[in-house]
Structure 1
């Protein structure tokens, strides 16, 4: 019986919680403490999905009205002894990611289907759902429904974002200004966007000191030139200590200007997942391939060559995270046939991801992310339509009278 099954599950849940309450933790290694903490958080998030199911059941049965409660919020406040704000938050969560039913008992899709799946899997929690719903409410009403669905899917995937609200607002403003600057509406000169060309030596670039020469013959402090480059579309011409351009061959220690321009066009910024450092704030770094992946790359100081396929962009902070210690990241090139062939994959340390699943940075490729999400959405919708037609045709064949069930 359903009643017995529910009681059995609740008893098992009670016993499962009882154990960790009394079990000693001091003898656990650091990695195990981190693993327990992560697994507990996943379990708590999944229990939120159970709570959503119960709220839906209470509302669909009209239990608050049967008990003379003014509303579902009033019922939860009295029954669970929680605050009105907490009760309202749980109701809103059930409204957005709960599975509701028609009068005949047919399941309805959640209002936020991707978020609902993420909650059920324990990837996100109630606060994430509330933030996603708040953002979606700001989308204009005339936006096509498929774009709203794609936006919800992207938000559900990105809900491990650890930036503060201030940092997110700053990044949003910066992205908007960058888009405005690149749109060309701010002025042009002889049909081209206004651009500052600054020339400096490698030593000046590394030390951020001295004066850079502009294309008009003026002098600009190197620090100012680098700061200007963050907000422009720089074409970087790098010279050696003798004022000569670096060799375009690939036997030099430093990447050539052509190689850097190619990497800027391909990666657009730091390649570590989640890093928003633009290309102007990165340097060309060698990839450190791991065992089991593509062949090892011999670094320049060990007799290797500075080939374009063994290079990519990384900011100073992220590059320092790549090391052989227990908390170090690894990098490699995604193989052909994978979701992102040729892109740089970053493999996180075990304390961040026990599976050490390779990741790529989508932050600098929002246009590609949206396009791919739209393609996936349309492909899934077309597959569902084909399946519906197949079932319909099979029903016609079985009845023989042209009326499918």
Structure 2
């Protein structure tokens, strides 16, 4: 009964909030004076910031209740992405923020303070923007164990500074605090660099990428060796120097080093397949060299550019699809699926075939649609890619799947969708 009352009260509070927002949206600002508009803007910013702790509390409660597991989501961030239709990067950021500044509970439900209580209090008062909070908590997360007793002091100082500095300036101040904690390199630099190692990589829809990294001394040395070997300027030809900049040469050296590694066959298998570049295209685009090919990681690359990769020093697998996305041909380089069949699944499914799952091919297993023990053949027409989680759980949770026009079609259980409307992936 108390749960019902709590839920009704929460619904009523949110309904009141929506009514206030409706009223604010209807305000005719032209009738307001300058000072009133400025004051309203500042007040609204404080209100916006005060909503962050509410978001933290809701996300942590979703985790506590195990709601992502109920819908076969791989975790809270993928669940937020599906439920709120937000970008996975935003979902991950919101989960990290909730863990850093949200109020926690023990397994028995007893309240615990936030990991960073000064940040949490400042957000509750509307004094700290989400990006400022992220700057502070990310810096504190990277501090070595030897200075953990200084964390409350540094956290309080940065929260106070956030009243005067925006996130960019606050980042510089946070970096200076880190330098101040280790002015002479007296801390264990090797261990610190190990803890801070990081590589962020984002692939754009056209297949290109951007990223940043924080590397150890070993990585730096290996990169330098690769750059020395593969990134030197090419010899002059008829007086024409290598037109590439130093940055372009380093890019090409890294690409060449990765091509050599992938082509060597020495990499560990990923999802049961040797490291292979996957390209999928329509029969017409394959014949004419027009249109776009899809890579194994979902990027769209001009077909002419993609087919030029065939001369590279790596394994490349091409798959041709018909108009309904059925596999009509694939290149080739029992109970267990063969490598060629797995590559065909990668080209068709692009990763886990379960609706909404973002698991890449390397995290997936080849699964029978009609189980082998029930007479299902080990063929492309009776297989798909599933991450380990969905491979284990989808039958247990009441989902069914079949292949329609050579594409997996999923039927959710009635407790998720009473109408059981099929979902094509």
Structure 1 length as normaliser, TM-score? 0.41
Normalised by the length of structure 2, the TM-score is: 0.39
Q: Bigger radius of gyration, 1 or 2?
A: 1
Q: Select the structure that is richer in strand.
A: 2
